[in-house]
Structure 1
């Protein structure tokens, strides 16, 4: 197995792979290294015929705090070509996880913001503790949830997305359940049991049929996201170039 710096992969004898975000000191915030490694992990796990399902989890207090602020500052300082390259890489990561030909189960043990909500949106099933809190806080930084936008809106619908997409208003697990972002809300001590219950059902199925059924869901959903990747990458790069983003990121880092 490939060695990684920001994630961990462990596969048990049943073929259940645990893909763990492993930047606990940064609340598992996404940076360039993690984006690249998650994309690579999706390729590896997707091609491994012994893998039946993947559990996406996080180490430390949070599931994922979104984009690393230092990484965002780096994008602000790049030229347009550099901004577009990183925006495309971010979009490609979400697309790779979204298209993973295995059931992807999100194990949300703590808070998720920004890109963390994007990771939840590309999971097939999301199990969350009731104490978790969520928000898309990009507009507070002068940014927008561009590359995750198609996945989140597809998951929740436009009506729900309008309630938190641009207000940056935090919401709880009950609202996340109601809008479809979360599949099951449970107590912390029951989190792993709920994940195992989903795995038990998956292991009763045939992997080839599951992969085909997942592909069918993506097709029948009527949401072709491939054409949106370039557009959302452009929108994110636009915001990285804005004065609002420069001020918002610096203000947050100065706190």
Structure 2
């Protein structure tokens, strides 16, 4: 009985040995259900989650907006869009206004003053309390009247101010034999003016190319024998090309 059991055990051992040998030769081996083996293939082939910068480099990785482009995005620096701008507009501004009336070469024009004109001053019935100054070019060249006449009755110590609304668009020019004008408000029609007095003599001054500069000799037109009454309302227009414009203000 004992001998039979030993034979059975021996036969079972031979069978197990045979099965193990066969499995090894097949190359499949036996599988350990609980083993935790590292995956060598994945470690070697799968890239790690390293920064986008070069490995081992201290340079920080760039954002997608900066990578692969060495061009300026146009927000900084760039070309000067004003380069080569025509400066003719600035030069034209410096030339000042043109001349209204008169003819001939602008380089040959001269200033109108007491040496090349005849000046008259006479009160007019309309508008009330107004006087008209007329300047006639008696010279051989066209002349220009700049700004407004500077008036002085007798020894008055103040200068009548101009009517700014009467300022023309250009310098008034007159050819030989032609005339230009200025209107004078002598006194307020409603009697609101102060210091009313009668002027016996009148001096008409001419301005140069810059305000309040001398334009040459003054003129002394004669006044009516009874003189001319004026008060603190005394004002004068800029030089005008026509008589009607001069008496509008």
Select the structure that is richer in helix. 1
Q: Please give the TM-score of this superposition, normalised by the length of structure 1.
A: 0.17
Higher Rg of the two aligned structures: 2
Select the structure that is richer in strand. 2
Q: Please give the TM-score of this superposition, normalised by the length of structure 2.
A: 0.17
